[in-house]
Structure 1
Amino acid sequence: MNFQMPNYKHPDFDQEPFLSAPDARIVGVEIDGVAPEHYHALSIYPEYFKINGEWILASESRMDGVPVLRTVGTIEVVEFRNLQVGDKAIIGRTEDGSEGIYVYAKGFSSNDTNSDLFAFRSGRSRETAFSKDYNDLYELLNYERDNGYIVWVLGPAVVFDYDSRQALSTLISNGYAHAILAGNAMATHDLEAALFGTALGQNTYNQQSPPNAHYHHLDLLNKARDTGSLKMLLEKETIQEGVVFSAIKNNVPLVLAGSIRDDGPLPSVIADVYQAQDEMRKHTRKATTLICLATQLHTIAAGNMTPAYTRQNGEIRPVYIYCVDIAEFAVNKLRDRGSLEVTTLVTNVQDFLVHLKNNLVQVGDGS
C-alpha cells in the first residue's frame, strides 16, 4: 500500500456566522518586542482571519505566536521578541469567528464512525500495539524522501548503541533526512564513537569501559576545537562513518543548540539560545515530518515551533510528528504541551532505528 495524503476540508465561509462576522481588529505595535493589549496568540490549529471581508489562513500554525498582517495581504506568525514598531498585530481572544478570528480544528479529521466511544487501552503506553504505526511510518518516509522535508530531533541515546548509530547513518545517506536538530552531546558522542569506539567512555557494542575512556569525549572535543570545524575534524582524523559524517557528506543541515551543561562545546554549537531557536525554525517551518528521538526538552521545543500544517504545491497538508522514547511520561509530554499531529511510540530508539533501516533500505543501497 502506498502512502495517501489526507485531503484538507476547507471551512465553508459562505454561510453564517462567517458571512456577517466583522473584520478582525488590527492594532499597530508601539514598542519593539511588545504585543498590543488584548493581542491574539495562535494555537496549534489552522486559524483564519477576516480581512477586508475575506477569510485568510495564517501562513503557519505555530502556538504562542502573534498574527501580523503584511501589506501583501498575508498573515504572518511572529514571535513576541521579533515584533517591530508598526507591525499590524491582530487582536481578539474569541475563536468562533465573532471577532473575525476562526480557529479550525477539523481540517484533517476523519469521518470514521466505526470506533466505540468507550474502549480499553485507548492511551499510548508500553502495552500499545505499534505494528501499524511502524508500517504507516515506512510508507510515509518513502513518500517524504522525495516529496517532503524530514527533520530529525536527536538525543545522544541514538549514538550510544552500535547498531542504532549505523542505522541512522544509513538512513541519512539514503535520503531519509533533510535536516537534523540536536545538541552538543549527540554530535560529540557520535564523533567519539567514530574516533574511539566509545560513547561517554563505554564501547558502543560490548559496553566495556576501557581504562581512561572517560577522557574520550573530552579528547574529542579538544581535537574538534583545535581544528575549528566539524568538517576539518573529519578530514584531519579521517573519520568516514557515523551520523555527523553522513550529514556533512550528504549536505544535510545539522543544527546543534547549546545548553548550560555542555562540555567544550563543539565549534559548531550555537551558544545563543535565540540564535539556535531561529536556526531550528528555518527547518521546522519547512518540515513535513518531524521525528523526535529520546530527548524530551528538545522534542518539546521543536514540536512547539513546528506548524501543524504546511502548503505544498498549492495544497494544504498536515505535518506529521513522531515522538519515540522508552519513557511513557516523555512521549506524552509533547501532547500535553499542545502539539497536534503526534504519534507516540514507547520503545527504545535503538530498536526503532534498526526497524526503520531494515524496512526502508535494501541491502546494497549504500550506508
Structure 2
Amino acid sequence: MPFKLPEYHHPDFSLPQFVSAPEVKWELVEKDGVAPEYFHSTSMYPEYFKIGGRWVLAEESRMDSSVVICEDGHLEVVENRNLKQGQKVILGRSEQCQEGIYVHNTGFETEETSEKEKFVFRQGRSRETSYARDYDNLLELLKYEKEHGNILWVMGPAFSFDHNVRKAMQALVENGYAHGLMAGNALATHDLEGALLHTALGQDIYTQVSMPNGHYNHLDVINRVRRSGSIPQFIEDYKIDNGIIYSCVKKQVPFVLTGSIRDDGPMPEVIGDAYAGQRAMRQLVKKSTCVICLATMLHTIATGNMTPSFRVLEDGTIRPLYLYTVDADEFVVNKLLDRGSLSATTMVTNVQDFITIVARGLGIMD
C-alpha cells in the first residue's frame, strides 16, 4: 500500500482548559548561559504556549532546552548554554494548561494506536520480535521521503567493514535515498580504507582475512587524506570510485563527522569540538523528516535528543518526523527510549543485514 502521511490533529483550543488557562510567565536572562529558576524544559513533542490570548506553537522543539519569546512573538527553542542576557525565557513545570503550557503528545494518534489492549504478549522490542511489517513500512516511507522529504542517516563504523554493506549504502545514496549523513571519524576512515585498500582495520572487506601489516592501513589512509587536505581532494588524488563517503561526495550529500577522544588522526573534516559538532549535526537534523540511526549508541542518543517528533512545513502543515534506531544490542535501542525519545521505532537486528534488506527491498541492489 502506498505510503500516506498521518493527519495531525490540532488541540481543541475552545475547550475550557485552554480558554481558562493563564498566560505564560517569563523572566529575563540575567547572565549569558544561565536560565532563570523554574525555566520550562522542552520535549520532542509539539508544545503550545498561551501568549497574548493565543496558543503559540514552538515550531522547532527538542529535548532539554528553554523557550525564548522573541520580539516578533516567534518562539525559539534554545539550549541553556546559548541563552543571552535580556532574553525572555518561559517559566513553568506543568504541561496541561495550568501555567499556560500545553504539551500535545497525541497529535498523530490514530484509532489503531490509541485503542491498544492493556495486556498482550510480545509488545517489547527484542531479538525475538518480528520486523517484517517494520521493513514493509520503512520501504514505503523511504519511497515517499525520497520525493517529498529529507532522509538523514546516522551511522556507526560497522558499515565500513563489509563489501556488500558498503555497496548497499552506496546504492541508497546514489539512488536518492539519502539527503544527509552523520557519523564519526571511524566510519569515514574505514570506508575510505575499504575504497583504497579493500580492507577495514586491516581485514579484507569481503573475505575478512587479515592482511600482513594491515593494522597500518587505516593510519596510512588517514595520513594520505590529511596530506590531500580534504576528503574530496583525497578521492580525486587517489581515483576513489566506491564506498559510502565517495557516493556522498559524488552526489553532493552533506555529511557531518564528529570526533571522540579516542580518534586516530582524525580526518580533516572531523569536528573535534563537541559543541561545534553538535551545532553542525543540528543543521542536518533541522532539515530532516526521517532519521535512521544505525549501530552507534552515542550518536543515536545525541541525535534522538535533538530531534522533535514533528516538523512544520513551509505551508504550515504539521507532519511527523520519523526516527528509527537499529542495533544488534537491545540495550542500545532501549537506551534511546530511556533517554525520553519515545517517538522512535526500534529494531534489534544486525545492521549489516538490515541495510542490504532495505536496498534489495527498494530494488536498487541485486
Amino acid paired to 1:345: M
SS of match in other structure, 1:97 = coil
Equivalence map 1:238-317=2 (5 Å): 238-312=239-313, 313-317=315-319
Secondary structure of 1:292's aligned partner = strand
Structure 2 match to 1:333: 335
Is the contact made by 1:45 and 1:340 (CA closer than 8 Å) also made in structure 2? Answer: no
Q: Which whole-Å CA distance do the structure 1 matches of 2:165 and 2:364 have between them?
A: 16
Gaps of 5+ in 2: none
Partner-residue secondary structure (3-state), 2:355: helix
Other-structure match for 2:133:
132
Normalising to structure 1: TM-score of the pair? Answer: 0.97
Contact 2:189 2:222 (C-alpha < 8 Å) held by counterparts: yes
Secondary structure, counterpart of 1:17 in structure 2: helix
Question: Matches of 1:347 and 1:175 in 2, distance apart?
Answer: 24
Secondary structure at 2:263 match in 1: coil
Unaligned runs of 5+ in 1: none
CA RMSD of aligned residues (A): 1.2
Which residue, out of 356, 361, 364, partners 2:363? 361
Query: What is the deviation of 1:362?
Result: 3.9
User: Paired residue for 1:111?
Assistant: 111
- 1:233 maps to 234
The AA in structure 2 aligned to 1:85 is Q
Cα deviation digits, residues 109-162 of structure 1 (max 9, x gap) = 121266432111110000100000000000000000111111100000011111
8 Å CA contact retained: 2:171, 2:365: no
CA offset at residue 92 of structure 1? 1.1
Aligned residues: 364
Deviating 4+ runs (over 4 angstroms): none
Q: State how far apart, in whole Å, the 2-side matches of 1:277 and 1:114 are.
A: 38
Q: Does 2:9 correspond to 1:16?
A: no
Return the alpha-carbon distance in structure 2 between the equivalents of residues 71 and 363 of structure 1: 52
Deviations, residues 156-175 of structure 1 (Å, cap 9, x unaligned): 00111111111001100111
Distance 2:30 2:150 in 1: 37
The aligned residue for residue 50 of structure 2 is 50
Alpha-carbon shift at residue 234 of structure 1 (Å): 0.3
Deviations along 1:255-314, one digit per CA (max 9) or x if unpaired, are: 000100000000100011111000000011121100001001110001110111101232
Q: Give the conservation status (yes or no) of the 8 Å contact 2:175–2:364.
A: no
- Rounded to whole Å, the distance in 2 between the matches of 1:50 and 1:277 is 30
Question: Which deviates more from structure 2 when the two are superposed, residues 65-74 or residues 261-270?
Answer: 65-74
Match of 2:354 among 352, 356, 359: 352
Greater shift, 309-318 or 219-228, is seen at 309-318
Alpha-carbon distance change, 278 to 114 in structure 1, aligned in 2, over 3 angstroms: closer
- Rounded Cα–Cα distance in structure 1 between residues aligned with 2:95 and 2:116: 29
Query: Structure 1 residues 145 and 117, CA, compared in 2 at 3 Å: closer, same or farther?
Result: same
Quick one: which amino acid aligns to residue 105 of structure 1? N
Cα pair 2:43 2:308 within 8 Å, conserved: no
Structure-1 residue corresponding to 2:324: 322
Q: CA deviation at 1:193?
A: 0.3
CA shift in 2, pair 1:244/1:363, >3 Å = closer
Show the 5 A alignment for 1:83-102: 83-102=83-102
**Alpha-carbon distance in 1 for matches of 2:335, 2:187:** 21
TM-score of the superposed pair, with normalisation by structure 2: 0.97
> Contact (CA 8 Å) 1:284, 1:307: kept in 2 or not?
no
Give distance in 2, aligned partners of 1:350 and 1:110.
Answer: 33
Task: Give the letter for the 1:30 counterpart.
Answer: E
Counterpart of 1:317 in structure 2: which amino acid?
A: R
* Cα contact 1:152–1:291 (8 A) shared by 2: yes
Partner of 1:77: 77
What corresponds to 1:3 in structure 2? Answer: 3
> C-alpha separation between the residues in 2 aligned to 1:75 and 1:314?
15
Q: Show the counterpart of 1:183.
A: 184
SS in 2 for 1:63: coil
Identity across matched positions, percent: 54
Contact 1:174/1:361 (8 A) holds in 2: no
